Chains A and B, each alone.
Chain A
């Protein structure tokens, strides 16, 4: 619960602390909090939803299928991140900071700035957790994918598949023309990963086995 608000707060602090003059730089850091920090917290939170229940056997014995319980948790986790991001985006639009980043893609379509990477990392976190049953491994994979795209922003976008799957195309994108295709690809990837998680969780008795301790 703490993650998304903390992510926004750290982004605002970074924008305030930046000694680089210019509204565009400040606006880029503020949008970066939505495109980078909020999806990271949502992804790691989704990665931590499986493998922590102390008595999975009881969960499997109740009328509500355990898969449904986990999917409800996912909706709450992603919904909370979305609420925080939407309120922040609204504040940035109202104060004019949204428009000060040249590649903002408008107040409506531009919301894909945070929607696409949040769903993509959330889907990755849930799918990795369903497959590994280990919050540590799933969290490590989400943070690593995020960090690789940060460290190698240029190299990651040299080729078309990398550009289409790049998480930070609004604030660090190499090709503004490919933004829409990038966001749609991320949404499709998120749908595929969430479907994979739903399928894997269909055999929920598999979760009785202890997590990878």
Chain B
């Protein structure tokens, strides 16, 4: 598994597109959404607390760069079959499950490196600009409880769902899901946003980091009066935040197990 992980990591981190896509996303983001820079570097507009600034930054970076992250990973597993190297790899002593986990962690980590670089780059620049060095510690904590579970969740489905549908269709459905499951207000239509299954990290944001938007008035988790699926939106607490993280990781594990089963049954048939 470690050998696969190292090889997949090295292979993915050298792909130009893994760096080009996040870079262009950030350029577009800064051109259109300029609020990112104002919230960090404009003394008149940025929030008084360093924690609020770097957690707010995490929400914006996570919401946008995760889309490219999922799309870039979508061809990693099916690629072995497309290049017809899967049977050769099957003949090696490494087990299929170990290779799948190695590919998942290796390719996933490499694709997450530009995201981490962008996030910590902005956070460190903010810390220097504002003189608030605890901001870097808050950024580390946010990365651990918001980015890591969310990206592990996305990576598991991005690797395995293209086994049962074409990768382009997965990319379309994924971005639709990302918008629907994270951003669409629950009172507009039934959605998974603000539930325990929110990969943008609504519960860790509210329950562990006490984040309620840059202006302190936004709700990222919990019930909305009259909305469907409110049973999945209990009032956020630290315990429920850890439960939300555990649910995301459990779903990621289930997706990997499902993908392993699909590949195993295909190979047994052929």
Interface residues of A (CB under 8 A from B): 2-3, 6-7, 10, 14, 17-20, 37, 40-41, 44-45, 47-48, 54, 132, 134-137, 139-141, 143-152, 155-156, 162, 212-213
* Contact for A145 among B11, B28, B174, CB less than 8 A: B28
Q: How far is the CA of A134 from the CA of B74 in the complex (A)?
A: 12
Binds A, one of B40-48, B185-193, B241-249: B185-193
Whether the pair A143, B17 counts as a contact (CB closer than 8 A) is no
* Contact for B32 among A7, A37, A48, A152, CB less than 8 A: A152
Closest to A7 in B: B172
Interface residues of B (CB under 8 A from A): 11, 15-17, 20-21, 24-25, 28-29, 32-35, 63-64, 67-68, 71-72, 74-75, 79, 82, 166-169, 171-172, 174-176, 178-179, 183, 187-190, 226, 228
Q: How far is the CA of A138 from the CA of B52 in the complex (A)?
A: 34
Which residues of A sit under 8 angstroms from B178, Cβ to Cβ? 147
* Known contacts A150-B179, A151-B183, A155-B35, A143 near B168 by CB under 8 Å: no
Nearest-neighbour CB distance to chain B for A174, whole angstroms, equals 13
Whether the pair A135, B168 counts as a contact (CB closer than 8 A) is yes
- The B contact surface, by secondary structure, is helix
Q: How far is the CA of A155 from the CA of B187 in the complex (A)?
A: 23
Whether the pair B169, A150 counts as a contact (CB closer than 8 A) is no
Whether the pair B171, A156 counts as a contact (CB closer than 8 A) is no
- The A contact surface, by secondary structure, is helix
* Contact for A143 among B20, B63, B171, B187, CB less than 8 A: B171
Whether the pair A148, B190 counts as a contact (CB closer than 8 A) is no
Nearest-neighbour CB distance to chain B for A9, whole angstroms, equals 12
Which residues of A sit under 8 angstroms from B24, Cβ to Cβ? 141, 144
Q: How far is the CA of A140 from the CA of B74 in the complex (A)?
A: 10
* Contact for A140 among B21, B28, B79, B176, CB less than 8 A: B21
Closest to B32 in A: A156
Further pairs besides A19-B188, A20-B187, A20-B189: 7, Cβ < 8 Å:
A3-B172, A132-B20, A139-B168, A140-B68, A140-B171, A152-B32, A155-B32
